[in-house]
Every structure is written in C-alpha cells, then in structure tokens.
Amino acid sequence: MLALLLCGLSFALPPFVRADACKDVSLQNEAPSAGQPFAFDCTHPPLTSGKAHVTWYKYPSKIPVSKNTQSRIHQEQNWILFLPLTQEDSGIYQCVINGTDTCHRIHVNLTVLRKDWCGISGNGQLILSDEYKQIQILHEGRDNSLTCHLNFPQSCVLDSLKWYKDCEEIKGERFISWEMKLSVSNVSAEDGGSYACQARLTHTGRQYTVLNSITVNIAETNGYAGRIPKIIYPKNNSIEVQLGSPLIVDCNITDTRDNTNLRCWRVNNMLVDDYYNESRRIREGFESHIFSQKDIFYTVNITFLEVKMEDYGHPFVCHAGVSAAYFILKLPAPNVQAYLIGGLFALVGATASVMYLYSIFKIDIVLWYRSAFHSPGSKEDGKVYDAYVLYPKPQREIQSHEVDTLVWKILPEVLERQCGYKLFIFGRDEFPGQAVANVIDENIKLCRRLIIVLVPESLSFDVLKNMSEEQIAVYNALIQDGMKVILIELEKVKDYTAMPQSIQYIKQKHGAIQWSGDLTEQSQCAKTKFWKKVRYHMPPKRPPPSFSAQPLKHMS
Ligand SMILES: *[C@@H]1O[C@H](CO)[C@@H](O)[C@H](O)[C@H]1NC(C)=O
Ligand SMILES: *[C@@H]1O[C@H](CO)[C@@H](O)[C@H](O)[C@H]1NC(C)=O
Ligand SMILES: *[C@@H]1O[C@H](CO)[C@@H](O)[C@H](O)[C@H]1NC(C)=O
Ligand SMILES: *[C@@H]1O[C@H](CO)[C@@H](O)[C@H](O)[C@H]1NC(C)=O
Ligand SMILES: *[C@@H]1O[C@H](CO)[C@@H](O)[C@H](O)[C@H]1NC(C)=O
Ligand SMILES: *[C@@H]1O[C@H](CO)[C@@H](O)[C@H](O)[C@H]1NC(C)=O
Ligand SMILES: *[C@@H]1O[C@H](CO)[C@@H](O)[C@H](O)[C@H]1NC(C)=O
C-alpha cells in the first residue's frame, strides 16, 4: 500500500514541481502613464518563435489574464493589452512561455504614472510633467528624425499622429511628420526640449488617445561616433528582375536604441513617396522594428507594383542617418545555355532541311549549276570521249532490237546531239579491222565515263559473245582509271546475283538508272527525269578539244 501510495505521489508530483520549474528569463520595468492604452509583447526569441504557448498572469494570481477582447485588460496573441491603463494596474505581470518540454517566465514590473502631462497651466498652456520620458538625440546641423515608439498589436489601428514640443503642436518647414516619424532638418541647439507624439488608437471600434513623451537632447555633430546605423541590406548590389513584374526589397538596418536617425528610401535624391506621388507605382513600406539587447533592428521595404524600363540602372537608395546603401535593377541576363541549345537545334534543323532539299533537287541543282557556270577553263585531261557505251547482244530478237534502238539511236540523239557529249559506241566508232581487245583497251582510256546497258535474264554476261570486251572494259574502268560507271537498266533487273561481281559491286556502290520512256518514240527530250539522271552522272561538259578529229584513227 505504501509503495503504491509513493508511486502515485511520484506520478502526481512532477507537474506540481514543474510549475515552479519555470525558468525566469528576464525582468523588465515599464512606466507608462495612466489614462491611455498600453501594450506589452511577450517576445523572447527563439523561445516564442516556435509553437510556444504564452500565458499572461498578474502576480500572484494563478488565474490567467482574460482573452476576451472586450475586457479592459486582456491577452491578444502574445500581447497583454490595457485599454486604457489605470493607476491600479501597477504591479508584476508574468508571461509564461510553455514550449514542448520547456517553460520560461518573463516578469514585467509595471509602474503606472500619474496622468498629468501637459496639464493646463495658469496661462492656458499645456505643461508636460517631468515623469518618465524617453530620451532621443538630435545631432546639430544634421537632418535627423524622432520616432514615436508606439508598440501595439495589429488589432490596434494608429493614425492622426501629432507632434508637440513644449505642449505646442509642431509646425514649420523644417519638420515633416510621416508615418511614426518626425523629420527635423538642419537641427539646431534650440530643437532640444520636451516633445510628445500623440496618436489616435482604434480597437474593436473604440477610440483612445495615446501619447508618448520624449526628451530630446541635442548632440554636437562629432558625437556621432559609435552611433552610425548599419545597413545590412542592400549592399550597393544589383537585382535582376523581369520587366513588368512586382518587386519588394527590404532595407535592413541595425541602430542603437536611442537613435534619432531617419530611415527612408530615396530615388533621384527625393523620397520615393514624393517622387511617385502621382502614380504611386513605387512606395515605401511602413517601418517595422525588433528590439534586441542594445540595438533595434529595422526593416523598411520598397514596393514596386510593376517594374518599368525607366527603373533599370537607377540607384534606389536606402538612407539611415548618415548611412546609405543602394540597389540597382538589372534586366535578367539571357539564358546563355538555352540560347546555345536553341541555336544548335536551329542550326541542325536548317542543315537537315537544306540537306533534305538538296537530296531532292540535287540533280536539278547540279545541272543548273553546270549550265549557269559553264567552266571554259577546265583542265584538258587528255580524254577524247565523254563515255564509252558498253552493251550486251541479247539472244532474244525483241530485246536485241530494243538495245540497238537505245544504243544506236536514242543515246546519240540525246547525249550527242542535244547535250553535246561525245560517245564511243562499239561497232560505230572503232577503226575497221582492228582487234577487238585493242579497240576496247585503247579507246576506253580515252573516255571519261563507262555506260553499261543492262538487260535482265538473257543478259547474264556470261552468255554474251563478247566476254572479253566486258571484262576488259570493267577492269579498266574500275581498277586502272577509277573511272565512273553508269548502269542503265533497260528493264528492271531483279536479280543481280547472276551478274559478274564487278557489276554487282558497281550497282551496290552507285546504283543503277532505270530506263523510263518509249523506245519507239521518235523525239526524246533531255529534260525528262531519266535523262537528267544520266546527265547528272555524266561529266560536266567541256569545250571541244582543239583537235576534234579522232586521234585513234590517226594513230592507227
Ligand atoms: C504551462 O506549463 C505549466 C507547467 O508545466 C503548467 O502548469 C501550465 O498549465 C501550462 N500552461 C499552458 C497554458 O499550457
Ligand atoms: C518595480 O519598480 C518600482 C519602481 O521602479 C520599484 O520601486 C520596485 O522595487 C520594483 N519592483 C520589483 C519587484 O522589482
Ligand atoms: C541651418 O541653420 C543655421 C542656423 O541655425 C543657418 O545658418 C544655416 O544656413 C542653415 N542651413 C541650411 C542648409 O538651411
Ligand atoms: C531583412 O529582414 C527581414 C526581417 O525583418 C528578413 O525577412 C529578410 O530576410 C532580411 N533581408 C536581408 C536581405 O537580410
Ligand atoms: C506631386 O509632387 C509634385 C512636386 O512635388 C507636385 O507638384 C504635385 O502636385 C504632387 N501631386 C500630388 C498628387 O500630390
Ligand atoms: C512591405 O511593407 C508593407 C507596408 O509596410 C507591408 O504591408 C508588406 O508586408 C511588406 N512586405 C514585405 C515583403 O515585407
Ligand atoms: C554604397 O554606396 C554608398 C554611396 O551611395 C557609400 O556611401 C557606401 O559606402 C557604399 N557601401 C558599400 C558597402 O559599398
């Protein structure tokens, strides 16, 4: 039983113990005036940045402060809000930060002061009481600013800010009030004194007046040392941005707590809000700040609704007191890689299409080129004939007749008469009585091409009477001269395997041209597809050699 009891106790104890195990992290003193709103934010980075649970208590009560926004004193998010503050609210307030497995506590010692700033004096003037005041410093001869530090949660709307000096509203050219700031240009010693900033605060439809007293001391300009604000960003850098896109750039600044520096964005040495007062295309954002131990971290942004061409290359300068830093907008650099790849694709595409077109129109292009740029200066190559015509003597009567028609009539008609080539046709051009082998051997050397006419089946060269003629010719053409061979199929040859290997080789390498046309037709035209192909394979035409006679005949 005892063990059980102890065990139960040990389970019951920890939360009780932990309640007191909350770690006190800080004690802060606050001394606001009664009769006006007051708020305190329980922030303690990094404790309050995560999923921490914040609860406010008024010591020594264990009952949390109400979260009802209609309550005069209530908690909103991490804030405790007094709307308004009364003298009786003085005391110690605790903010308990419950993390997942940690507990921290912040104490706030609130001393509420009497509300008699700017009481009515005998001569009807407002008099500021000498109670707790913030101290801000202005530097003689400089342009400085005072800040109205009004810290309230977002549910509180602050507006209608007014500035007072010695209880009189401030007016004059040297003073410009904007947002929570009062800028003072050309500060002089007379600017020192008691200031107050007053604003209207609206919360859940109810209005309050909030007032901050500030004691302003004037410092000699050389007193600047050590209080130069530091601009963390921008860093005189450039920012790449697309034309027409929106843009927000933060100016991040750290400055001392008691600073009086003016922070703003300028372009062409004018406040951006003034410079773009008509279009309001570029605006300065409201300044936000975060307190740290000694410094205040400020952020003030500049918002471009839309980047325009005129914005590029201009410095947009963030000023913080004597410090300044700018950024310049730049058009994004073109994506070099994309351009390269695109260019490459375009090039490959263009090349492919040119090659495709060339493959289709190759023959026409070459023939046109030859006719257009007939080269009169071609070298004399010692040849007499443009082509040696080699043809079979088929046994079947019809085929034999066809071959004869082609070789004896049509080839000379088109290639010789119309195109001006000179052919050597066996049985027409040789010297009578010459040995066949000699005729071929010697004449073929004088030809630039070898035309072989093929006829299927009966055409198997081994049935030809003139075995030697064919063999010598092909041998000479292929081996000795590297001469080009033109195969003309009189009919479609389906089976080349019966042909000699040399013919098979030529067919494989250069292909064959198939006769298309009518052998009985009288007029042949050199412009048909078939003849264009033949002409394409023929050598370019040369000027006729000066000695037009047949040297062979002379020689013999
Ligand atoms: C915060 O933690 C303390 C101690 O662990 C506990 O007593 C308290 O109920 C917790 N509060 C909330 C709101 O979670
Ligand atoms: C709270 O502040 C008042 C006035 O500054 C001071 O008299 C009092 O001792 C402080 N209390 C604590 C607990 O620090
Ligand atoms: C600044 O004020 C002084 C006198 O207080 C005056 O002499 C000087 O001309 C002023 N400078 C500017 C730029 O207004
Ligand atoms: C400026 O400060 C803000 C916080 O206020 C932060 O989000 C931003 O990243 C900072 N920018 C730079 C460039 O440091
Ligand atoms: C904008 O500023 C110019 C020069 O400061 C002024 O003339 C003009 O009236 C202003 N426009 C508006 C709408 O405030
Ligand atoms: C810029 O400032 C405006 C006005 O203060 C604010 O509403 C906005 O959230 C800020 N933008 C960024 C990105 O900080
Ligand atoms: C940026 O330029 C300003 C002048 O506009 C200069 O005073 C400042 O020192 C420069 N800052 C850096 C980091 O170069």
Q: Is residue 26 part of a domain?
A: yes
Residue type for position 45: P
Given a cut of 70, is residue 98 above it in pLDDT?
yes
Residues 433-459 pLDDT 10s:
777 777 777 787 888 888 888 877 654
Please count the structural domains in the chain. Answer: 5
183 lines ligand 1 (CB under 6 A): no
Listed residues 219, 254, 285: the one ending a domain? 219
CA–CA dist 117, 226 (Å, integer) = 33
- Can you give the pLDDT at residue 94? 92
* Together in a domain, 236 and 193: no
Burial track 499-520 (b if 16+ CB lie within 10 A, e otherwise): bbebbeebbeeeebbebeeeee
The answer to whether the CB of 274 falls within 8 A of the CB of 255 is: no
pLDDT of 129 above 50: no
Whether residues 47 and 162 fall in one domain: no
* Conformation bin of residue 495: beta by default, left when phi > 0, alpha when psi is -120 to 50: beta
Helix (H, G, I), strand (E, B) or coil at 178: strand
Q: Is 397 a catalytic residue?
A: no
Q: How confident is the model at residue 550 (pLDDT cuts 50, 70, 90)?
A: very low
Tell me, in angstroms, the distance from the centre of ligand 1 to residue 18's CA.
Answer: 9
SS3 252: strand
The C-alpha atoms of residue 69 and residue 53 are separated, in whole angstroms, by 18
* CATH number of domain containing 471: 3.40.50.10140
Residue 315 and residue 236 share a domain: yes
Chain centroid, CA 405 distance in Å: 72
498 and 442 within one domain: yes
CA 247 to CA 272: how far, in whole Å? 14
Which atom of ligand 5 is least distant from the CA of 277?
A: 1
Same domain, 396 and 470: yes
The ligand with the least distance to the CA atom of 55 is: 1
The whole-number pLDDT of residue 440 equals 74
Q: Are residues 94 and 171 in the same domain?
A: no
Residue 415's pLDDT band, with cuts at 50, 70 and 90, is confident
Band (pLDDT 50/70/90 cuts) for residue 552 is very low
User: Which residue's CA is the closest to the ligand 2 atom numbered 10?
Assistant: 109
Of the bound ligands, which one is closest to the alpha carbon of residue 143? 3
Ligand 4 binding pocket includes 299 (Cβ within 6 Å):
yes
Are the C-beta atoms of 222 and 228 separated by less than 8 Å?
no
> Within a 13 Å sphere around the CA of 340, how many CA atoms are in the beta-carbon half?
3
SS (H, E, C) 386-445: EEEEECCCCCCHHHHHHHHHHHHHHHHHHHHHHCCCCEEECCCCCCCCCCHHHHHHHHHC
Note whether 353 and 400 are same-domain residues.
no
Range of the domain at 355: 339-373
pLDDT at 81 over 90: yes
Determine, yes or no, domain membership for 123.
no
Rounded mean pLDDT of 476-494? 76
Where does the pLDDT of residue 329 fall: very low under 50, low under 70, confident under 90, or very high at 90 and above? Answer: very high
Residue owning tokens 């604003």:
199
390 or 8: whose pLDDT is higher?
390
Q: Are 483 and 476 in contact (CB under 8 A)?
A: yes
